[in-house]
Amino acid sequence: MDALIAKLKTQIIEQLNLEGVSPEDISPDDSLFGEGLGLDSIDALELIVLLEKNYGLKIENPAEGKKIFYTIRSIAEYITANGKA
Amino acid sequence: MSIQITSACLIRNNHIQLNGETMIEKEKHLPFNEFIKGAYELNASPNLKFFKMDNLCKLAFITSEFLLKNKKISEQYGAENVSLLFANTSSSLDTDINYYNTVKDFASPSLFVYTLPNIMLGEISIRNKFKGENAFFVFEQFQADFLCNYATQLIKEKKAKVVIIGWVELLKENYESFLCLTEENGNGAELTNENLNELYNGK
Amino acid sequence: MKTVFAAHGNIITSLGFTAAENFAAMEQSRSGIQKFSNSNFLPFPFFASLVDDGKLNDKCSDFRNSKNYTRLEKMFILSISDVVEKSGLDIKNANTLLIISTTKGNINLLEEENYGGFSEKRLLLSEMANEIAHYFGMKNLPLVLSNACISGVLAIITAQRLISSGQYENIIVSGGDLVSEFTLSGFNSFKALSDEPCKPYDAERKGITLGEGCGTLLLTSNEKLLNGNEKKIVVAGGSVSNDANHISGPSRTGEELALAVNNALKEANCENEIDFISAHGTATAFNDEMESKAFNFSGLQDVSLNSMKGFFGHTLGAAGVIESVVTLETMKQNVLLPSLGYKNLGVPMPLNIIKQRETKQINTSLKTASGFGGCNAAVVFKAL
């Protein structure tokens, strides 16, 4: 799980162009949207692309994404439960 | 009633001029990406969203940051009275091509949203809380007469108190950006075709 | 200030090649939206409203050098020709301007090998517009407006201003956009495409259906060009606003669309007498929600309202012009068209959505649009 979390941090920083943010800046339990990293609806769509591209996981309904993308840890848990990480 | 150009910012050849004064000047061969990042670090207030913008919006955003620095246009005139009147040659073609390159693989939503030239009006409006009239036109080249007449009409007919006229063009490494603030009874050159052309051409 | 008349219109969509053909199909609640399987566009079947290529090429067969024009340019030329013919306008007159409204123009050339045999420059919107103006031998260089989904309404507002201030006597506003791999993949990446024909304002709506087409409207201060029109309809007011909230998500409150609506109504002097609203109604969750709040802000919740997207999809830069031409037909014929696809209210604030065709005297109409970049536009048409 820790290795997956570390990998996700790097992938998210790259996919979302989070310039100036380093993996150490993000705690696995920080909320990604609203406060915290301040991601928005377009970032959520990019996270959907990230999961499909890197983990072969398709999320069709953005509303479903809300729960999955709550924190880095919740994404990692979703991948572990559903994917072939 | 007379309308004045109260401030103008011109970016061309990696050189930023505000009201004729050099703000930043870099080597001409410096790639656009590095140039605009440098300009952001020197002038703009920290904004994570900046790095998500496409190059066209980055260019427009930085020009507007220089033009509007230390001004409180929205508070002074009311959000709904600030109008943006922009144009360019290539629309969003630079990002259209970049987006289309992602389609065969994984279409990028964060690029797709920038495949409209008026997104730069949205970015500037969000940053500065402008809620007035906005319009984006496409011309073969800079057309001072149309922009001047339209801005004048907006102010005369009380559809706006301030009009920011913009020409923000970018295709690959070729770019130029020119923004000017026009308002009634301000301090500066009168809003005329000649004056607008002169400022656009730079001295 | 000169009075600006809305003289003649044309519509090209999957439902027909004239305003009358489109309106007749709409009166019968016919939708042009179909299911397509075209892997050049999307890897899975999708719903869209497409103009039939065979019919389009047939209609263009007597053009001069029709093969020199792209698919979208053919639609523009055909649509403008119809309006010129109906009005008797001298299009070569120096008092006449063409305004082209489009979001993506010839973007399909990017998808074709070697740009489909056309010059790469044809991707530039001004180049496309110049080709069209040149076909008609127009004196003035055309004006191109590209402001996301409000382009069409904004083009009409701009034309109204340029005519009322006396800068031109006649302006042909023509809006067009295609359905392409580019737009379909983009809205798909936004998870915004509906997997069934779109249902604006409905509780079960699932998103957008894209459509393609072209709409043309002649605006003029020359009353003589109204030949054949029983009602004299004018463009009475128009306004534009920005949400200043988010580049792809609409305002949470709807105040900004309401601001544009209120300004347009005030300019038109019809604050309490709107008979019909042709709203934007894309059938995305957030857009329709925002509109319902905006119309309530403006006190228009009881006015008969429809979205036309259920008939020919969201035609992007053409939508504002096409839907305005239908609105003018609504006023001329005094027939309200249903909001196709709508059954049960699915927005937070009440709206008076038209469920079936009805006859009613319509003297004033409001047309609105909203789009990416946070833009909103409203225009008022009034019968004198």
Q: How far apart are CA C171 and CA C95, in angstroms?
A: 8
| B37, B48, B53, B113: best to mutate for the A interface, most A CBs within 10 A | B48
For residue A39, how many other CB atoms are within 10 A of its CB? 20
Q: Give pLDDT, residue C230.
A: 83
* Closest to C261 measured CA to CA, from C217, C299, C316: C299
Q: Are residues C241 and C303 in the same domain?
A: yes
Q: Single out the residue in C226, C253, C273 at which a domain terminates.
A: C226
Q: Give pLDDT, residue A36.
A: 72
Q: What digits encode the pLDDT tens for the residues B22-43?
A: 999 999 999 999 999 999 998 7
Q: How far apart are CA C160 and CA C167, in angstroms?
A: 10
Q: Are residues C314 and C275 in the same domain?
A: yes
Domain hosting residue C106, numbered range: 5-226
Q: Give pLDDT, residue A66.
A: 82
Burial C245-273 (b: 16+ CB within 10 A, else e): bbbbbbbeebbbbbbbbbbbbebbebeee
Domain locations along chain B: 3-201
Of residues B103, B122, B153, nearest to C373 (C-beta): B122
Q: Are residues C71 and C220 in the same domain?
A: yes
Contacting residues of C for B90, CB less than 8 Å apart: 124
Cross-chain residue pair C189–A45, CB shorter than 8 Å: yes
Q: How far apart are CA C69 and CA C64, in angstroms?
A: 10
Q: Give pLDDT, residue A64.
A: 83
Q: How far apart are CA C299 and CA C256, in angstroms?
A: 14
> Quick check: B41 contacting A, CB < 8 Å?
no
Q: How far apart are CA A78 and CA C220, in angstroms?
A: 61
pLDDT of chain C, 384 residues: tens digit per residue: 999 999 999 999 999 999 999 999 999 999 999 999 999 999 999 999 999 999 999 999 888 888 899 999 999 999 999 999 999 999 999 999 999 999 999 999 999 999 999 999 999 999 999 999 999 999 999 999 999 999 999 999 999 999 999 999 999 999 999 999 999 999 999 999 999 999 999 999 999 999 999 999 999 999 999 988 889 999 999 999 999 999 999 999 999 999 999 999 999 999 889 999 999 999 999 999 999 999 999 999 999 999 999 999 999 999 999 999 999 999 999 999 999 999 999 999 999 999 999 999 999 999 999 999 999 999 999 999
Instruction: Report yes or no: C244 and C378 within 8 Å, Cβ to Cβ.
Output: no
Q: Are residues C237 and C221 in the same domain?
A: no
**CATH superfamily for domain B3-201:** Thiolase/Chalcone synthase (3.40.47.10)
Q: Are residues C177 and C248 in the same domain?
A: no
- What is the share, in percent, of chain B residues with pLDDT greater than 90? 94
Q: Are residues C263 and C285 in the same domain?
A: yes
Q: How far apart are CA C161 and CA A12, in angstroms?
A: 48
> How far away is chain B from the Cα of C216, in angstroms, using its nearest Cα?
18
> How far away is chain B from the Cα of A82, in angstroms, using its nearest Cα?
20
Q: Give pLDDT, residue A20.
A: 82
Q: Are residues C218 and C248 in the same domain?
A: no
Q: Give pLDDT, residue A84.
A: 63
> How far away is chain C from the Cα of B94, in angstroms, using its nearest Cα?
11
- Under-50 pLDDT residues of chain B: none
Domains held by chain C: number: 2
Q: Domains along chain A?
A: 2-19+30-82 (1.10.1200.10)
Instruction: Report yes or no: C375 and B118 within 8 Å, Cβ to Cβ.
Output: yes
CATH number at residue C20: 3.40.47.10
Q: What digits encode the pLDDT tens for the residues B163-188?
A: 999 999 999 999 999 999 999 989 99
* Segment holding C234, helix H or strand E: strand C233-242
Instruction: Report yes or no: A42 and A26 within 8 Å, Cβ to Cβ.
Output: no
Instruction: Report yes or no: C295 and C253 within 8 Å, Cβ to Cβ.
Output: no
Q: Give pLDDT, residue A83.
A: 76
Q: Are residues C204 and C268 in the same domain?
A: no
Q: Are residues C367 and C260 in the same domain?
A: yes
Q: Are residues C305 and C200 in the same domain?
A: no
Give the nearest chain A residue to C186 (CA atoms): A45
Q: Single out the residue in C226, C242, C262 at which a domain terminates.
A: C226
- Under-50 pLDDT residues of chain A: 85
